[in-house]
Amino acid sequence: MRKFMFLWALLLCLAIQLKAQNSSKPNVIVILADDLGYQDVGFNGCKDIPTPHIDRIAKNGVKFTNGYVTYAVCGPSRAGLITGRYQDRFGYSRNPLYAPQDVEMGLPLTEETMADILKKNGYYSTAIGKWHLGTHPDLHPQKRGFNEFFGFLEGGHHYMPEMWTLEDDTKAKTQYDGYKTKILRNTTPIEEKEYLTDALSREAVSFIDKNAQKPFFIYLAYNAPHTPLQATSKYLNRFSHIQNPKRKTYAAMVSAMDDGIGAVLKQLEDKGLDKNTIVVFLSDNGGPENDNASDNGPLRGQKSNFWDGGIKVPFAIQWPAKIKAGTVYEKPVISLDILATVAATVKSKINPEKPLDGVNLLPYLNGENKKAPHEYLFWRNYDKGVIAVRTLEHKIVVTETHNQELFNSLKDISEKANLYQENKQAFDKLMQQWKVWNGQLKEPLFLGLTQEKQYNELHPKRFVFDK
């Protein structure tokens, strides 16, 4: 009897230890908005669109006042985020075309994703929402480390189910037919009935419910509030005070996303997972104010350019087990740091031939390291010849007309005062650093959205599918 009791106690102890080891791995949820304006969340000062749930992430953890992404449009920015590497290192320099038969039109198979890296450490993962990293079957999320997928592969999509009139990619005839395809569950088109934003949120909540007993990773990539501007009356009715019809619909789309994020946070709490789950919120680029009525607040510029309005985004992380609530971090960080922080936390091995460009943010957030996480941050628009470099104090921007600008980023958030003439030495130093970085990069791997005519001439059977 004593031997039995001893054995039982030993097994119980081992089970508790095993559970503790498993639970020590934080769950990871990266929530990505699409074309969200810098000042369109409460924690950045929005007044006309309540975002209480998004704001909770910042309140429960850290708000970054200088949080950047690696590019000013969707596709390259997502490639940088999902790999933790500047996308120009592997030639992802353009927004990809919708080309379901072209395996080179998307994230190169030579690159590892966040899902690939976490899978090595026992994580079960799903990609939900907008992919935009390639529509060829070999570039599908489930071929890039994700166990599950729910969403669409193209760069945009209609939000209303009645508008999804094409069964799949083989029925597409034009670039924007991808907006009309049915939603995929894994690789199968399904009959979905809900407003798209609501459906994506539902799937994230369900995934947490089904996988609460193991470490998981959710890449929840909303396409809201990217155009087309479409919302249901449930959300539109909340904004009768907004007279601009475009801004009203945009607000409704942001509100739907915020509701969904609230449901995700509640599910974490209900499952007792909130303390040890890293939840990241950011946008893929700045708001295109002219297109979707977004608001970048005091920032100059918008989506597609390298002034801060195009690349500085709402950015917050909560992780109650490790990050002090109410933290405000002022030094520049970038989306590349997300994977670097997660990989360091789970002690994941990174391919030494493809080192990450991000850094582990935890030592900086908890005060162990007082320096800036990055000495330099870089941007390159290959086709337009536009470049930018940011340091703690300064930022340079060189535009298509070779206009040379230098700003004091600590004092001039709106980038109004060009200091180039009075401090050419600072400009030249940053320009030299950019040249060194640029020498490490590749030429673009594929023709992008702005070269569609040229691509079609080279690929006349782009939308001709074998039966």
Token pair 């985020």 in the structure block, residue: 81
For residue range 243-269, what is the model confidence (pLDDT) as tens digits?
999 999 999 999 999 999 999 999 999
- For 158, phi then psi, to 5°, come to -70, 155
From the candidates 53, 132, 374, 394, give the one annotated as an active-site residue. Answer: 132
Residue-level pLDDT at 19: 45
**For residues 271 and 269, what is the distance between their CA atoms, to the nearest angstrom?**
5
Residue-level pLDDT at 6: 52
For residue range 167-184, what is the model confidence (pLDDT) as tens digits?
999 999 999 999 999 999
For residue range 82-91, what is the model confidence (pLDDT) as tens digits?
999 999 999 9
Query: What does each C-alpha distance from 462 to 139, 157, 166, 169, 173 come to in angstroms?
Result: 17, 20, 17, 11, 8
Query: What does each C-alpha distance from 189 to 181, 299, 371 come to in angstroms?
Result: 8, 41, 49
Closest CA to 67 of 365, 421, 451: 365
- The least confident of 204-218, 291-305, 396-410 is 396-410
For residue range 346-399, what is the model confidence (pLDDT) as tens digits?
999 899 999 999 999 999 999 999 999 999 999 999 999 999 999 999 999 999
Residue-level pLDDT at 11: 53
The arithmetic mean of pLDDT across residues 269-282, rounded, is: 98
For residue range 216-241, what is the model confidence (pLDDT) as tens digits?
999 999 999 999 999 999 999 999 99
The arithmetic mean of pLDDT across residues 428-439, rounded, is: 98
- Band of residue 98 on the pLDDT scale cut at 50, 70, 90: very high
Going 431 to 432 to 435 to 440, the CA torsion angle's sign is negative
Q: What is the DSSP annotation of 252-282?
A: HHHHHHHHHHHHHHHHHHHTT-STTEEEEEE
**C-beta of residue 74 within 8 angstroms of C-beta of residue 284:** yes
Residue-level pLDDT at 466: 81
**C-beta of residue 313 within 8 angstroms of C-beta of residue 285:** yes
For residue range 4-61, what is the model confidence (pLDDT) as tens digits?
555 555 555 444 434 433 458 999 999 999 999 999 999 999 999 999 999 999 999 9
**For residues 40 and 239, what is the distance between their CA atoms, to the nearest angstrom?**
14
Helices marked H in 26-113 — which ranges? Answer: 52-60, 74-83
Closest CA to 356 of 332, 368, 374: 374
Helices marked H in 162-244 — which ranges? Answer: 196-210, 233-236
Residue-level pLDDT at 13: 46
Closest CA to 195 of 242, 162, 156: 162
The answer to whether 74 is a known catalytic residue is: yes
Number of H helices and number of E strands within the chain?
Answer: 13, 16
**C-beta of residue 381 within 8 angstroms of C-beta of residue 92:** no
**C-beta of residue 32 within 8 angstroms of C-beta of residue 225:** no
The answer to whether 46 is a known catalytic residue is: no
Mean pLDDT of the chain: 95
If one counts every other C-beta atom within 10 angstroms of the C-beta of residue 294, the result is 27
- Return the structure tokens found at 325: 């609530």
Residue-level pLDDT at 375: 98
**For residues 270 and 62, what is the distance between their CA atoms, to the nearest angstrom?**
22
- Return the structure tokens found at 351: 């391919």
Closest CA to 161 of 202, 203, 192, 197: 192
- The DSSP secondary-structure symbol of 114 reads H
The arithmetic mean of pLDDT across residues 322-344, rounded, is: 98
Question: H or E element: which one contains 408?
Answer: strand 404-408
> Strand 27-33 vs strand 216-221: parallel, antiparallel, or unpaired?
parallel
Residue-level pLDDT at 22: 45
**C-beta of residue 157 within 8 angstroms of C-beta of residue 128:** no
**Chain-centre distance of CA 458, in angstroms?**
31
Residue-level pLDDT at 401: 77
Query: What does each C-alpha distance from 400 to 305, 391, 404 come to in angstroms?
Result: 10, 22, 10
CB-count exposure of residue 371 (10 Å: 0-12, 13-18, 19+): exposed
Which domains are assigned to the chain? 26-39+48-365 (3.40.720.10), 377-451 (3.30.1120.10)
**C-beta of residue 95 within 8 angstroms of C-beta of residue 351:** no
From the candidates 13, 46, 53, 74, give the one annotated as an active-site residue. Answer: 74
Using a pLDDT cut of 70, give the percent of the chain over it.
95
**For residues 135 and 153, what is the distance between their CA atoms, to the nearest angstrom?**
5
